[in-house]
Amino acid sequence: MEPPTEGACRPSTRRLYPWEIDLLQEIFAGCLDYQAVRIHECARWPDALDRLSRRLRRMPASGGHNAVTLGNHLFFPVSLPQRPPAPGSPEIALVAWLVHELAHAWQYQRLGWPYLWRAVRVQVQLKARAYDFGGEQGLQEQRQHGCSLQDFNLEQQGDILRTYYLRRCQGKDISAWAQYIDDIHSM
Ligand SMILES: [Zn+2]
């Protein structure tokens, strides 16, 4: 995913924009300390870390970008949209990426630093499959077996929230996702 402003991408740190918080309220409601979150944009090291860790795990190069979340600090190798993306805009994928990384900040706020070990472990053990939650059918089947959001690994949780946001923006059916979003509010 190549950001349109990469030529002018300079490292910077900020809080969540008010429009981002408005949009995220629908997912995290009062369950995330939004003010504690810091967004680092145009950080160079997450891509370098990804290249190194893929070599160590004998995985092919991704050819894409990598973000890293450490506690409340989200490090992106690109700049994120400064304003809400228009419907159908490719920038929606960047906001969905923010949702995935914020899931890790939410996990940190709930679990403390052990979340980081759990997230790294699942990436090492499952590699690219770490994120695969089975799509709409997987969500429905797991629900029928009594599973909640907590029964998915930390990367799957992030991608359930990311794809929820994407599908909502695309006007697709989100009923299989909605019950897992409700889980956030009842934990
Ligand atoms: Zn993740």
Give 22 Cα–ligand 1 centroid separation in angstroms: 22
Residue 95 domain-assigned (yes or no): yes
In a domain, 90, yes or no: yes
- Residue 99's pLDDT is 98
pLDDT over 70 (residue 6): no
Q: What is the pLDDT of residue 7?
A: 59
Q: Which tens digit of pLDDT belongs to each residue from 41-86?
A: 999 888 888 888 888 878 887 778 899 999 999 999 999 999 999 9
Establish if 64 belongs to a structural domain.
yes
Q: Average pLDDT of 167-174? A: 96
Q: How many domains does the chain have?
A: 1
**Å from CA of 83 to ligand 1 middle:** 23
The domain of 48 spans 6-180
Rg (CA), the chain: 16
Residue 186 lies in a domain: no
| Tally of CA atoms within 13 A in the half-sphere of 51 that contains its CB | 8
Q: What are the distances in angstroms from CA 50 to CA 2, 56, 75, 94?
A: 16, 10, 13, 18
- CA end-to-end span of the chain: 34
CA distance 15 to 39: 6
- The tens digit of pLDDT for each residue in 120-141 reads 898 888 887 899 999 999 999 9
Binned at pLDDT 50, 70 and 90, residue 187 comes out as: confident
185 within domain boundaries:
no
Domain membership flag for residue 1:
no
pLDDT of residue 49: 86
Q: Is residue 187 part of a domain?
A: no
DSSP letter assigned to residue 68: E
Average of per-residue pLDDT values in the chain: 92
Q: How far is the CA of 102 from the centre of ligand 1 (A)?
A: 9
Strand residues in 50-165 grouped as ranges (E):
68-70, 73-75
Ligand 1 centre and the CA of 93: distance in Å?
15
Asked if the structure places residue 172 within a domain, the reply is yes
Return the structure tokens found at 31: 């369950």
